[in-house]
Amino acid sequence: MTQKVRKAVFPAAGLGTRFLPATKASPKEMLPIVDKPMIQYAVEEAEACNIKEFIMITGKSKRAIEDHFDYAWELEENLKNKGKKNLLREIQRLAKHQFAYIRQGAPLGLGHAILCAKPFVKDEPFAVILSDDIIDPDDSLLKEMIDISGRHGATVLALQRVPKAEIHRYGVIAGTEVEKNVYKISDMVEKPKASEAPSDLAIIGRYILTPDIFSIIEKTSPGKGGEIQLTDALKSLLQKKPVYGYLFEGKRYDGGDKIGYLKATVELALKNPTVSKQFKEYLLSTISPMITKEQP
Ligand code: UTP
């Protein structure tokens, strides 16, 4: 019988250089989208799939992540005394979960970051969530992936079609569609040139992995950028076992990039009941005069 996915790994030890200077002393994963840090969206996504254990891979300047998911007695007392029950409930809710923190030591690559989780994951399938890839909370990408992984008893990667000009930023697959939006992967390449990409299907930051990936990562040499790449390890896995990709057609924002982060902020603010009306009015009043001016 296929094992349930009960654990999620959140690699968060990267340097976040695209967001410097903001990320010099603060984690990129703590950058807020409206009123929640990116990593909280990721944790809530796992929570919605009944995942019970949350394994964070952190590094230097990342301690704010631990504090964010911990109890905060003084703040809680303050909210209690002021009768702010909803806020109190909101900040206490996540702290009730079981979190484990592992320091990566040095950012040696995504594959290496995942390997750090080995003692906590042990021998069961697990999810990997890159919190700077923001999935619209109304979408159920991770649930679909867990379901596909359960049916096939295999590794499943999230895919999205990306324009040619952006393909060099991703791991890219070759594969055959075996059921609607499910691809059996035959090859993958990390960050190819547009002319060498095997398709426009890029791997995005959600994975359901099986524990046999750990021994493969252990044998994987540094690849692109001198980092131990998860894509290289998955490519080796392909030689032994089937690997599937699920084509996600919903909304995803690359929160590790300034424009992607701004798009996520605008679109999620427009959906947020506490600010959407006012924010929409503000956007319209700011943009409408620009559009009128541009018209001949
Ligand atoms: P990125 O490629 O976005 O790298 O990593 P980064 O360092 O976070 O950001 P830039 O490119 O310098 O701006 C993808 C994910 O993998 C994690 C990152 O934290 C991010 O969630 N990661 C990457 C690690 O945990 N460890 C690593 O060694 C590398």
105, part of any domain: yes
Alpha carbon of 110 to ligand 1 centroid (Å): 7
Write down the pLDDT at residue 292: 72
Mean pLDDT of 12-37: 94
> From atom 15 of ligand 1, which residue's Cα is the shortest distance away?
130
State the Cα–Cα distance between residues 27 and 30, nearest whole angstrom: 5
Decide if 64 is inside a domain.
Answer: yes
Residue 256 Cα: closest atom of ligand 1? 3
Is any atom of ligand 1 closer than 6 Å to the C-beta of 132?
A: yes
Please report, for the domain that includes residue 117, its CATH number.
3.90.550.10
Please check whether residue 260 lies inside any domain of the structure: no
87 touches ligand 1 (CB under 6 Å): no
Structural domain total, the chain: 1
| Residue 286 resides in a domain | no
Judge whether 271 lies within some domain.
no
Cβ atoms of 105 and 12 within 8 Å: the answer is: no
Is residue 1 pLDDT above 60, yes or no? no
Query: 108: Cβ below 6 Å to ligand 1?
Result: yes
What is the 8-class DSSP label of residue 250?
A: S
- Other residues' Cβ atoms within 10 Å of the Cβ of residue 101: 17
Domain with 138, as residue range(s), is 7-255
Using a 6 Å cutoff on CB, does residue 104 contact ligand 1?
Answer: yes
Within a domain: 280: no
Distance 281 CA to ligand 1 centre (A): 36
Cα 228 from Cα 214, distance rounded (Å) = 12
pLDDT cut 90: percent of the chain above it: 88
Mutate which of 132, 232, 253 for ligand 1? The one with the most ligand atoms within 8 Å of its CB, which is 132
Can you give the pLDDT at residue 296? Answer: 62
> Of all protein residues, whose CA lies closest to atom 9 belonging to ligand 1?
16
Closest residue by Cα to residue 64 from 87, 40, 30? 30
Ligand 1 close to Cβ of residue 12 (< 6 A): yes
Tell me how far the alpha carbon of residue 265 lies from the centroid of ligand 1, in angstroms: 20
Q: Which residues contact 276 (CB under 8 A, 6 or more apart)?
A: 269, 270
Please work out whether the CB of residue 16 comes within 6 Å of at least one atom of ligand 1.
yes
User: How many A from CA of 29 to the centre of ligand 1?
Assistant: 10
Does the C-beta of 255 come closer than 6 Å to ligand 1?
no
Angle, alpha carbons 54-57-60 (nearest 5°): 140
39 pLDDT more than 90? yes
Query: Is residue 224 lining ligand 1, measured as CB closer than 6 Å?
Result: no
* Of 110-114, 172-176, 190-194, 208-212, minimum mean pLDDT range: 190-194
Mean pLDDT for the stretch of residues 20-26: 92
Residue 2: inside a domain, yes or no? no
> How far is ligand 1, taken at its centre, from the CA of residue 15, in Å?
6
Residue 200 lies in a domain: yes
Place 295 in a pLDDT band, splitting at 50, 70 and 90. low
User: pLDDT tens across 244-256, in order?
Assistant: 999 999 999 999 9
